[in-house]
Amino acid sequence: MLSLILAGALLYITFVYLKQQNARERRMEAQSDLPREQLLPHHYKSFVEVENKLWAATAEGARTAEWDTTQIKLRPAELHLAREYVQGLQKDFEVGNRIFAVVIGHSPEVKMLRQLEWQRIKIEFPYHTWRVWICLRLWMGQVSPGELRHLTEIVSTLAYEVRSLLNVFERGGNVDFVEYLVRKS
Amino acid sequence: MGTALKLLLFALVLARRLYRRLPLFSLYVALVVADDFALRWTYHHFGYTSLAAKYEYWSSLGVVLVARALAVAELCWRGLRNSVWLIASRVLAILAFAILVYGMVEAAKNSSPAITFLLTVERSLDFGIAVILVALLRLGLRYEVWIGGIERRVLLGFSVFSTFQIVNNTFMKQWMMKYFSWWVSASVVSFEVAMLIWIAPLLRPLPPMTAPPTLLSEEESVSMLKQVLERMRRIAEEMKRIARSKWK
């Protein structure tokens, strides 16, 4: 039984890996001319806009001091908006995590790799937990601004860390490496 | 059909000078071809059931097995880098040692130790290669490791072959003892499929092998990553502080 699970896992992971490699080649072609800001996490910045739209669409009674914890029953238009926003956050997370992964992969020491990996896990775990929770809530047609805010905070932390590490490399004069990270990773 | 494919693969490996890029994989292909011819020659001169045929079959199986393991290790070495390779190489060494010990223990229990050893090692190696490939691919996904097109095909070929072998060994052990010839055929077909996967990209000239530019020296990366780590810790602390102040 273990052997069959292993065989299945091997075929599955081979397929996923080859898909990732092909996606990378396509991405490199597509983003060669894009401005750098577009290649870094940026969707999370529209949170205020999304929150304002939700606020405008919500009944007067819900706009209380406990706005953050208010469970909003979403109508199709708002549901679409929230879903698009969460998808944008997912893209941000993928971009940030990818840059992070390449940097960690360049680590020349095992100890350092472990420490950087730990920092990465500290962001990954809450992100995935919150994302699954929010997707579930959206599937039920509900969401609270506080939940969206929390997911946004996690992504913005990752984005801040990514920008911060790019700054460190750039200030050290490694512009080529930064270009490689942003455009070719 | 099998011999023709082996010859074609070997010819393409030489023509495309793949031995410069993947020397251990090329050695594996050369050994597979040599093994095929040596076996045919032995069967022809000494007969299928002769002692010489028996020795030739089992000894070449051992050599090809080792070459296959080395070819997979080469893929790991090329795919993973720096500290990821340091971690992976330790795991690989432990796994190889475990396979050898398991093979020896099984061989010691049997009346025909050499053959049992090779058979057990072959089964364990198929299992081990699958574990290593899963680990390699998982690390590849985790660290966004990019490998060249030909290396990807070699990896895919080994994955397909190992998957077939594992499934084969599992069913053979439990239900297919009566159908030994089917098992052998399935094994041969899986290797032929793997060879076709390896042959396809070699039909066209390989893109020139250019060494990846050194974008960051080792000393530089140590000092930069230390700074990065320090900043990340500060950011994490700051986030914790903000979260705590919000819940108060």
- Yes or no, beta carbons of B82 and A153 under 8 Å apart: no
**What is the band of B73 on the pLDDT scale with cuts at 50, 70, 90?**
confident
**What is the band of B83 on the pLDDT scale with cuts at 50, 70, 90?**
low
Q: Which domain holds residue A155?
A: 35-184
Residue B125, pLDDT > 70, answer yes
Proportion of chain B above pLDDT 70, given as a percent = 81
pLDDT tens digit string along A114-130? 888 888 888 888 899 99
Which pLDDT score, from 0 to 100, does residue A60 have? Answer: 64
Residue B214, pLDDT > 60, answer no
Which pLDDT score, from 0 to 100, does residue B199 have? Answer: 92
**pTM, rounded to two decimals:** 0.75
Strand, helix or coil at B176?
A: coil
Which pLDDT score, from 0 to 100, does residue A134 have? Answer: 92
Look at chain B and report how many structural domains it folds into: 2
Same domain, A44 and A13: no
Same domain, B190 and B247: no
Residue B8, pLDDT > 60, answer yes
Which pLDDT score, from 0 to 100, does residue B32 have? Answer: 92
A21: closest chain B residue by CA: B146
- The residues pairing with A73 across neighbouring beta strands, listed in sequence order, are A142
pLDDT tens digit string along B15-44? 988 898 899 999 999 999 998 888 889 888
Residue B212, pLDDT > 60, answer no
What are φ and ψ of residue B209, in 5° steps?
-85, 110
The predicted complex's ipTM stands at 0.76
Same domain, B120 and B156: yes
- Yes or no, beta carbons of B144 and A107 under 8 Å apart: no
Same domain, A8 and A80: no
Q: How far is B44 from chain A (nearest CA, A)?
A: 37
Which pLDDT score, from 0 to 100, does residue B176 have? Answer: 57
Task: DSSP for B202-216, please give it.
Answer: HTSPPPP--PPP--S
Proportion of chain B above pLDDT 90, given as a percent = 12
Burial A43-66 (b: 16+ CB within 10 A, else e): bbeebeebbebbeeebeeeeeeee
Taking contacts as CB-CB distances below 8 angstroms, the residues of chain B near A105 are 81-82, 84, 143-145
Q: Is B219 exposed, middle or buried (0-12, 13-18, 19+ CB in 10 A)?
A: exposed
Which pLDDT score, from 0 to 100, does residue B107 have? Answer: 67
Which pLDDT score, from 0 to 100, does residue B9 have? Answer: 92
Which pLDDT score, from 0 to 100, does residue B39 have? Answer: 87
Which pLDDT score, from 0 to 100, does residue B210 have? Answer: 60
Q: How far apart are CA B206 and CA B18, in angstroms?
A: 9
Same domain, B127 and B90: yes
Same domain, B105 and B141: yes
Same domain, A64 and A43: yes
Same domain, B158 and B238: no
Which pLDDT score, from 0 to 100, does residue B110 have? Answer: 66
Q: How far is B189 from chain A (nearest CA, A)?
A: 17
Residue B184, pLDDT > 80, answer no
Residues 6+ apart with CB under 8 A from A74: A82, A138, A141, A142, A143
Q: H or E segment at A142?
A: strand A142-143
Q: How far apart are CA B194 and CA B131, in angstroms?
A: 18
Which pLDDT score, from 0 to 100, does residue B104 have? Answer: 72
Q: Is B183 exposed, middle or buried (0-12, 13-18, 19+ CB in 10 A)?
A: middle
Q: Which of A143-157, B6-20, B105-119, B215-229 has the lowest mean pLDDT?
A: B105-119
Q: How far apart are CA B89 and CA B79, in angstroms?
A: 12
Q: How far apart are CA B29 and CA B5, in angstroms?
A: 11
Are A28 and A184 within 8 A, CB to CB? yes
Q: H or E segment at B52?
A: helix B51-79
Q: How far apart are CA A163 and CA B177, in angstroms?
A: 61
Same domain, A111 and A143: yes
Which pLDDT score, from 0 to 100, does residue B196 have? Answer: 92
Same domain, B29 and B152: yes
Q: How far is B185 from chain A (nearest CA, A)?
A: 19
Look at chain A and report how many structural domains it folds into: 2
Residues 6+ apart with CB under 8 A from A107: A113, A116, B82, B83, B221, B225
Same domain, A6 and A20: yes
Residues 6+ apart with CB under 8 A from B6: B29, B32, B33, B36, B195
Residue B217, pLDDT > 70, answer no
Same domain, A107 and A147: yes
Are A106 and B220 within 8 A, CB to CB? no
Same domain, A122 and A58: yes
B79: closest chain A residue by CA: A105
Same domain, B123 and B238: no
- Yes or no, beta carbons of A7 and B235 under 8 Å apart: no
Per-residue pLDDT of chain A (185 residues; tens, 9 = 90+): 777 788 888 888 888 888 888 888 888 888 777 888 888 888 999 999 988 888 888 766 666 767 777 788 888 888 899 999 999 999 999 999 888 888 887 777 778 888 888 888 888 888 999 999 999 999 988 888 888 988 998 898 888 888 888 888 888 777 777 887 887 77
Q: Which domain holds residue B238?
A: 215-248
Same domain, A24 and A75: no
What average pLDDT does this structure show over B111-124?
A: 69
Of A110, A153, A168, nearest to B87 by CB-CB distance is A110
Residues 6+ apart with CB under 8 A from B130: A6, A7, A10, B159, B162, B163, B166
Question: Long-range contact list for B204-211, CB < 8 A, 24+ apart?
Answer: B205/B16, B206/B16, B206/B17, B206/B18, B206/B21, B206/B150, B207/B148, B207/B149, B209/B20, B209/B21
Which pLDDT score, from 0 to 100, does residue B24 have? Answer: 94
Residues 6+ apart with CB under 8 A from A45: none
Residues 6+ apart with CB under 8 A from A56: none
Residue B103, pLDDT > 80, answer no
Strand, helix or coil at A140?
A: coil
Which pLDDT score, from 0 to 100, does residue B137 have? Answer: 83
Q: How far apart are CA A112 and CA A116, in angstroms?
A: 6
Residue B211, pLDDT > 70, answer no
- The residues pairing with A143 across neighbouring beta strands, listed in sequence order, are A72
